[in-house]
Amino acid sequence: MVSRKNKNNIFKKEEFKDKLDKNSHKLLKKVGALKLIYFCIKILLYEKSFLIYILIISLFSLSIAFTLPFFNNQALVVKVFDFYILIYISSFLFILILKTSNFFLGRKVEDKTIFIVLSNQISRSKYFITQFIIIILVSWINILFSYTIINILYLAFSEFRTRNVLVLKTATFLWFSFIFSFCLVSLIIFLSTIASSQVSLVITTLILSFSFIANLPLQFLKSKEESENILFSRYSSTQAYNISKLYEAFDLQNYIKNNKIKYNNISYKLNDFLLNSSATKDDFSSFDENGNPSEIVKERFNFWNDLGLISKNNENYKYKLTNIKVSLFPKINDFNNTTYWNSTDNYDISFELKNRFISIDELSNLISSTSNESNKKILSDIYNFTNNIIKQLYNLQKTMVTEFSDFIRYLFINDIKNSFIINKNKSADTESIKQFKASYLISIYKQFFLKDGLSSSNPTEYFVLKDNQEVVDNFIKNDMYFPLMLSARLLEEYLIDPVSIYKISTNFPVIKNEADYYEYLSRRSLFNIFTYLSPFYNIWSNYTLYSGYSYNDFWFSPYSESNIDLTYQENILLPYITYKFVINNNGIIDKESYLNYIDPYIFLIIAVLLSTIVVICSYYKFGKKDLD
């Protein structure tokens, strides 16, 4: 039998145990999450190496923030900012998260800080959650500081004029960095709970290196495609196009159709006209042997006429050169008689144009009087483009000398009643007057600027005036100076080549039994598999896709006919969305092949879901981990 004294002792012990459990529960409830977070942050702030590292990150962001406002070229802002975000996320932010995670889940485990905390009735679950929140907070506060300081200083130095390029870049940087850091924290904490610090360090170092080489496969792919062609069966012949040029043509269509290019209004209008016409590069400037223009030339002229760039004069425009000397006549029967056609006599030249392009001042007035908003934007683009090209090119007439002929041929009146040359010394003779043709005017114009510009011309069209004649100099530089005609021709030349490639490749079947085509398909298929399996490629593609470029800087080189580089703003280390050409049942490339890609946000969602699962696994693993 148990004595009454023993019963009392047992009762007292049980009562004491109940009180202890109740006090422990109260203590556990008393030490809340906020107090624990405050305690841990306080410990972290006593870590000098951590503070020094935060200072380094802040100085790095400040240096970029002070630099960006001084770039007038927005394309340069894109390039510099992309390098910044790559270094910031893949290096600074990565190491910051690694250091913070190692501090709480590595060093503080080894020096028994966690053991002491947990032994004071703080649950492991609460401690794990607070550490996860602290690491996330540390990274997000640094991201938010960088975002804020870059935008504030950029606005301050640019007199608070917002620029969509940097606004979009920094906004994408903000949400992308938040998501990326969440995934990174989840992964590093998971590694810390399942592996030793040495193994975790090796794995995280590999991850860091992969983020810098994620884009290398795409660079190798593009480099290979620069030397290969895809063949098309065009009527009874074969048309070959370089793969890189094909992608350039398709990308250009994508940018133009989505108004993501400089002078987007006139570009869209002219591109739409060329796509719907029968014009291609081969027959763009065709005249018959009598100088009559083809239907394509007429359509081109009518396009500019409908925009209002052609003068509405009811009478012909008359031009005359008087008392000039000719050094070389065309080698045809009309000019064989040297008695009349020689280099010593004086001549008068008269000719007429049916119409002409309006002047820049007339275009400015037209813009002011135009009520249609769409047409006003198109005309404004032409006005700005013309003025810019005049500033960019040292001598517009000389640089664009080859673009003088097309519309001059079309407007020139090839009739001896209107256009003729007469020998003033022998004007009484019927042999002293001959027809002056459009080809002669073009010859005079070219020779004036190029001097040796007739070396490859037809001798029957040679017509060269003697040098150093003031009347000729004034005639060419003033009377024959049509800047809007030259800028219109330049716009046509810019677009006709890529549009021709696009039209032919989307209207004629691919020749599939060619080695280059098989290699293209094989490489692109392998690359697509790589992108699906590479988390870094897919995740980083979200940033490059949604942050975009400085689209207003996408334009053709002024000294070339159709050279446009749509990749010069890309960072060689960052991944970008790409696509494989879609071939339909007829063997023809789909016109919207540039949409043939999986939106990368899907992979970002998958990454967030996997990271959440990893955090949950880490949570349970931490609860069972031996911390002694």
Distances (CA, A) of 241 to 26, 90, 174, 556, 561: 78, 39, 41, 20, 18
Sign (positive or negative) of CA dihedral 152, 156, 157, 160: positive
pLDDT in tens, 147-159: 999 999 888 877 6
Q: Count of H helices and E strands in the chain?
A: 24, 8
pLDDT in tens, 319-350: 999 999 998 888 888 888 888 999 899 999 99
Q: Are 274 and 495 in contact (CB under 8 A)?
A: yes
pLDDT tier at 562, thresholds 50, 70, 90 = confident
Q: What was the pLDDT predicted at 368?
A: 94
Q: What was the pLDDT predicted at 27?
A: 43
Rounded percentage of the chain residues whose pLDDT exceeds 90: 50
Residues 6+ apart with CB under 8 A from 347: 321, 323, 324, 325, 326, 421, 422, 423, 424
pLDDT tier at 19, thresholds 50, 70, 90 = very low
pLDDT tier at 394, thresholds 50, 70, 90 = confident
pLDDT in tens, 453-507: 555 566 777 888 988 888 999 999 999 999 999 999 999 999 999 999 999 999 9
pLDDT in tens, 279-308: 888 888 888 777 788 889 999 999 999 999
Q: Are 321 and 357 in contact (CB under 8 A)?
A: no
Q: Per 3-state DSSP, what percentage of the chain is helix, strand, and coil (rounded to 5)?
A: 65, 10, 30
Residue with the two structure tokens 């549009």 = 499
Q: Looking at residue 475, what DSSP letter applies?
A: I
Phi, psi of 299 (to 5 degrees): -60, -40
How much is the average pLDDT of 104-130?
61
Beta strands (DSSP E) in 177-248 are: 229-234, 237-242
Partners of 464 in beta bridges: 328
CA-CA distance, 91 to 87, in Å (whole number)? 5
Q: Tell me the CA end-to-end span of the chain in Å, nearest whole number.
A: 44
| Token digits of residue 316 | 């012909």
Q: Are 418 and 353 in contact (CB under 8 A)?
A: no
Residues 6+ apart with CB under 8 A from 10: 2
| Token digits of residue 358 | 């309006």
Which is more confidently placed, 564 or 106? 564
CA-CA distance, 25 to 288, in Å (whole number)? 100
Most confidently predicted of 307-311, 445-449, 561-565, 622-626: 307-311
The answer, yes or no, to whether residue 16 has pLDDT greater than 90, is no
Q: What was the pLDDT predicted at 28?
A: 43
Q: Are 438 and 414 in contact (CB under 8 A)?
A: yes
Partners of 242 in beta bridges: 229
In one letter, which amino acid is 491? L
Q: Are 283 and 500 in contact (CB under 8 A)?
A: no
The answer, yes or no, to whether residue 373 has pLDDT greater than 90, is yes
Q: Are 425 and 346 in contact (CB under 8 A)?
A: yes
pLDDT in tens, 33-56: 676 677 677 777 777 888 899 999
Q: CA 495, 498, 502, 508: dihedral to nearest 10 degrees? A: 110
Q: CA 244, 248, 249, 254: dihedral to nearest 10 degrees? A: 140
pLDDT in tens, 166-197: 899 999 999 999 999 999 999 988 888 887 76
pTM for this prediction = 0.86
Query: Helices in 287-432 by DSSP H: which ranges?
Result: 295-306, 360-369, 373-392, 396-399, 405-411
Classify each residue of 175-203 as buried b or exposed e, where b means 16 or more C-beta atoms within 10 Å of its C-beta: ebbebbbbbbbbbbbbbbbeeeeeebeee
CA-CA distance, 200 to 207, in Å (whole number)? 10
The answer, yes or no, to whether residue 509 has pLDDT greater than 50, is yes
